[in-house]
Structure 1
Amino acid sequence: MTAANQDTAPTKGPWPARPEPLDDVAELARVDAVIAAGPYEATWESLSGYTVPDWFRDAKFGVFLHWGAYTVPAFGNEWYPRHMYVEGTAEYDHHRRTYGPQTEFGYKDFLADFTAERWDPADWADLFHRAGAQFVVPVAEHHDGFAMYETARSRWKTTAIGPHRDVVGELGAAVRDRWMVLGVSSHRAEHWFFMNGGARTPSDVTDPEFVDFYGPAQREETSPNEAWMIDWFLRTVELIDRYRPQVLWFDWWIERPVFKPWLRKLAAYYYNEAARWGREVVIQYKWDAFAPGTAVLDLERGAMDTVHPTVWQNDTSVARTSWSWVPDQQYKTLPELIAELVDVVAKNGVLLLNIGPKSDGTIADEERELLTGIGDWLRVNGQAIYGSVPWAIPAEGPTVQAAGSFIDATERVFGAEDIRFTSQQRYGNERLYATLLAWPEDGVARIRAWGSGSGQLARPIRSVDLLGHDGEVTWTQTEDALEVRLPADRPSAVGAVIRLTPEPAEAGTRLPFDHEL
C-alpha cells in the first residue's frame, strides 16, 4: 500500500526557507575568548582539573528520552531513517510496501506528521519526578538530523516543522519547575554518514533541495572535513548557550581522532561557561573520546564487574531492542530494572534510563508503569541509593553479572542470594545497606558478607532494620552470615533492603542521621 492510498496520507511540505548564513568566524572568536578567560584551557592537562559535581554523584538516577520523527513510522527502531534507505533491510522493504519508493516518499516526508498533538511537558515532568529521577536528558538531535529545539543553524527543526514547538525548551522548563536537572544529548556526529544508504540507491537523499537535511551522507569510513566539524561544534555551543543544560551526553562517534581538538575546546568552553553561570555540569562520553578524569565515562546498556574508581554512568532502556517507541516493544521487567539500578549504584555508577514516547506525545502505559514502579521502590528504599557510596565489596551471590557494553539483550533473573551493597557516610558514622534482588522464599535474608567470620565488618553491629518496615526484625549473626527474619508483609514489590548500623567509631559519638534518612 502506498502513502497515497492510506486513509491518512502523510503530509509533505511546504518546507521552511533556509536560514541566513551565520558568521562562524565571529562565533569561533567569541568561543576562544571565553576559553581564554578561564579557568579551563583547551588541553587535557587543564581539563583534568575537572571534578564531577556532588549533585550528579548523589543523583544516581535519571531519565533519557528518545523521541523524534522516527516514531511516525514506528517500525524497527530509531535507526529507521537509515535502514529505510538500505536495500535488504526489513525497514527498506516495509517502507516501499507502506509508503512507496524512496524517490517519491523519503524520511523528510514524515516530519510534518510528527505533530506531538497530545504532548504535555508538565505531565512528563510529573511522571519523571514520580519515578524518582533527579535529572532528565531529552535527545536534542538524533542521527537523523532533525533538531528537537530552536536553532539558527538549520531549518529542519521542531519549531518550524511538525509540532512547531521547542521540545527541549518546553520540557526543560517543566523539568526545572520540579527541581530536576535538565540535560541534553547530541547525536549530531553520526549524521556525517547516517543517511548514506540513500546515496547508494535511488532516493530523495540525493535531491539538491534537501542536501542540508540529508547531507553530508558520506561513507562511514571517512572523517568529517573542517567545515562540517565547525558546524558540529557551533551547533553544540548553541545548545549550551540557549538551554544551559547541566548534562551534555554524546554518542559513540566522537571517538574519531578528528574530534579530539574540538572536544577539548568544547569542554573548556562548557566548563568555563558553567562556572560563569554558577552551575556544575557533566559531559558524558563513550569509549576513549575524552581523557580519563576530564568527563564522565558512559557505558551503553552496560555494567562494571566491580567498583569503578570514579563515578560513571550506564545508559540503558526500559526496552531491549529499540530506544524509540515501536508497537512490538520488548520490555524489561521491573525486577530487572531495579537490579540494574542497584548494581550500577553499588559499583559507583549512575543509571540513565531511557523511555520512548509515541509520536503524538503520549507515553505508553507499560513505560509509565515501569517508571512509577521504580518510583514506588525508591520511596521505600531510596536511602540505599541516593547519596550512597560503595561499600567494601559491591556484591555477593551466585548469579554472574556480565561486564561491558550491550549486555542486556536477554532477561536476567536474580535470586535472594544475589545482593548488592551500598553505604551512607555522615558525621564519621555509617549505615550499610544490603539489597536483596529477590525476596527469600523462606522469609530469611542471609548476608554472607555480614557474618562474623567474613572480616568485612569493622565494628560490632548496633542494629539491623528492614527499610519500609516499622517494626523490629529478628536477626542473628553467625560466622557464616547475618540472618534476618523478614516480616510476612513485603514493604516493596522487588526484593528487600536490610540496613545495618555499626557501633559508632568512638564511644559516645552522636548518630544524628538516625531519623533523617
Structure 2
Amino acid sequence: TGEKKYEPTWESLSRHQTPQWLKDGKFGIYTHFGIYCYTGTSANATWNSHIAYLRPYHKEAKEFYEKFGKITPEFGYKDLIPEFKAEKFNAEEWAELFKKAGAKFAGPVAEHHDGFAMWDTKYSKWNAANMGPKRDVVGELEKAIKGEGMKFVTAFHHAANWDFFTVWDKSTDAGNPEYSDLYGQIHERGEPYIDEVFHEEWYGKLIEVVDKYDPDFMWFDYGLDRIREDYVKDYVCYYYNKAHALGKEVIISYKGHDLPLGVGLLDY
C-alpha cells in the first residue's frame, strides 16, 4: 500500500515483532572478514590495530610493530590495505559451508570499527570494492547466501569508529584529517559524539546497505547508545517501514541497553 506502519518514536518502533523465521531458524552465522585478516597478529585480530595505536606497550602492539613497523604520521593501518587481496575468497563456497553447517541465516561484518566498508559504498573511498580486494564482498555474499535459501545478515560495528584510532594524535597517521573517512573525524580524546559528519555517514551507510542489499537481519555491536537518538530512530523506522512495504519480516539486534526493549532483539 505504501503506507508507513512505523513512526520514528520508541513507542511505535517497539511494536515491531521478532520474525517467525528467526524463532524457527535458531542458528545463524556471521563472519569477520577485512583488513585485519591480513594484519592478524593475535587471537583477536579484529582489535590488533586498535591496540597498536592506543596501547604501544602491549604485547600485541609489539607483535604488530615487528611485523609491519611502527605507527608514524606517514605509516599506519591504511598502508596495509593493498596486502588484503582476498584472492581465495569465494562467496559461493562460504554460502555452501554455512548451509551445510545448518545455518538458516548468515552474512558478513559489513564494516568493523576500523572504518573500512566491505561493500561498494558512495560514502567513503575506503572500501573493498575500490581498493584491497577490489570486490563488493557484501554484494557477492548477499547473492550467494540468498541463493542457498538462507536469510541474509549484515553486521555493523562502525559506531565505535569514533575512538578506535588515535585521531587526536598527530604523531600517528590517524591524526591526519586527510584520512578521516577511514580513521574517523579528528577530535580531542574523550570528546563525545557531537560531529554531524560522523552521524551523517553512520546513518547514510546503513540506509545504503538496506537499499542495495536488502538484508533480513542487521546485527549491531556495541555503540548504538553513543549515536544521537534521532539518527537511530530514523534508521530503524526506515528499515522497518521498507520491509513492511515489501512484505518482508526483518530484525535488528543490539547489545546491552543500546535500544529500548522491544525495538529489536537483545543480544547478550
Pick the TM interval, shorter chain: over 0.9
TM-superposition CA deviations, 1:296-328 (whole Å, max 9, x none): 1001xxxxxxxxxxxxxxxxxxxxxxxxxxxxx
Q: Is residue 85–residue 201 contact of structure 1 (8 Å, CA) maintained in 2?
A: no
Match of 1:118 in 2: 88
Alignment of 1:387-406 (within 5 A): none
2:171 partner SS: coil
Distance 1:227 1:217 in 2: 11
- Larger gyration radius, structure 1 or structure 2: 1
| Alignment pair present for 1:72 and 2:58 | no
Deviations along 1:221-272, one digit per CA (max 9) or x if unpaired, are 522423321221111111111111010111111123x432222211111010
- For 1:119 and 1:97, locate their aligned partners in 2 and report how far apart those are by CA, in whole Å: 27
- In 2, distance between residues paired with 1:217 and 1:75? 27
Q: Does 1:269 align with 2:235?
A: no
1:54 aligned to 12, 20, 24, which one? 20
Match of 1:293 in 2: 262
- By how many angstroms is 1:288 displaced? 1.5
- Confirm or deny that 1:168 pairs with 2:134: no
Q: What displacement does 1:206 show?
A: 2.0
1:155 aligned partner, one-letter code: K
* Counterpart in the other structure of 2:211: 241
Task: Trace 1:77-92 onto structure 2 (pairs within 5 A).
Answer: 77=44, 78-86=46-54, 87-92=56-61
The AA in structure 1 aligned to 2:157 is: H
Alpha-carbon displacement from aligned partner over 1:65-110 (angstroms, at most 9, x marks no partner): 0111011121122111211112212233223322222125310111
Whole-Å separation in 1 of the counterparts to 2:6 and 2:114: 33
Cα deviation for residue 51 of structure 1 reads 0.9
- CA deviation digits over 1:463-511, x for unaligned, max 9? xxxxxxxxxxxxxxxxxxxxxxxxxxxxxxxxxxxxxxxxxxxxxxxxx
5+ residue gaps, structure 2: none
Tell me which amino acid in the other structure corresponds to 1:149.
W
TM-score norm. by structure 1 comes to 0.49
The equivalent residue for 1:211 is 180
Q: Which has the higher helix share?
A: 2
Aligned counterpart, 1:395: none
Q: Which amino acid aligns with 2:68?
A: Y
Correspondence 1:155 to 2:125: yes
1:195 corresponds to which of 165, 173, 181: 165
2:175 and 2:186 in contact (8 A); partners too: no
CA contact (8 A) 1:193 1:216 kept: no
| Structure 2 CA distance for aligned equivalents of residues 144 and 57 of structure 1 | 32
**Cα shift at 1:215:** 2.2
SS in 2 for 1:252: coil
Secondary structure of residue in 2 paired with 1:151: coil
Once the 2 structures are TM-superposed, how far is the Cα of residue 200 of structure 1 from its aligned partner? 3.4
Report Cα offsets for 1:404-461 as digits up to 9, x if no partner: xxxxxxxxxxxxxxxxxxxxxxxxxxxxxxxxxxxxxxxxxxxxxxxxxxxxxxxxxx
Alpha carbon RMSD of aligned pairs, Å? 1.7
Contact 1:193 1:217 survives alignment (8 Å)? no
Give, in whole Å, the separation in 1 of the partners of 2:250 and 2:153. Answer: 9
CA distance in 2, matches of 1:134, 1:54: 12
Letter of the aligned partner of 1:272 in structure 2? N
How far apart in 2 are the matches of 1:268 and 1:222? 25
CA contact (8 A) 1:195 1:217 kept: no
- Structure 2 Cα separation of the partners of residues 165 and 173 of structure 1: 13
Shifted more, 176-185 versus 208-217: the winner is: 208-217
Q: Specify which structure has the bigger relative contact order, considering alpha-carbon pairs within 8 angstroms and separated by 6 or more residues.
A: 2
Superposition TM-score, scaled by structure 2 size:
0.92
Distance 2:216 2:186 in 1: 31
1:40 and 1:268 in contact (8 A); partners too: yes
Runs of 4+ aligned residues of structure 1 deviating over 6 Å after TM superposition are none
The 8 Å contact of residues 154 and 219 in structure 2, kept in 1 or not, is answered as yes
Equivalent residue number for residue 343 of structure 1: none
AA partner of residue 95 (structure 1): F
Is 2:146–2:152's contact at 8 Å kept on the other side of the alignment?
A: yes
Structure 1: 5+ residue stretches without partners: 1-33, 300-517
Task: Report the AA paired with residue 82 of structure 1.
Answer: H
Letter in 2 for 1:206: G
Q: Of 99, 108, 111, which residue of structure 1 is paired with 2:68? A: 99
By how many angstroms is 1:220 displaced? Answer: 4.2
Question: Mapping of 1:469-484 within 5 angstroms?
Answer: none
Is residue 107–residue 142 contact of structure 2 (8 Å, CA) maintained in 1?
no
* Offset, 1:294: 1.6
Maintained 8 Å contact 1:205/1:211: yes
Give the C-alpha shift of residue 201 in structure 1: 6.8
Separation in structure 2 between the aligned mates of residue 182 and residue 224 of structure 1, nearest angstrom: 32
Q: Tell me, in whole angstroms, the C-alpha distance in 2 between the residues paired with 1:148 and 1:224.
A: 26
Distance 1:227 1:252 in 2: 20
More strand by share: 1
Residue 287 of structure 1 deviates from its aligned partner by: 1.2
Q: After TM superposition, give the deviation of residue 44 of structure 1 in Å.
A: 1.2
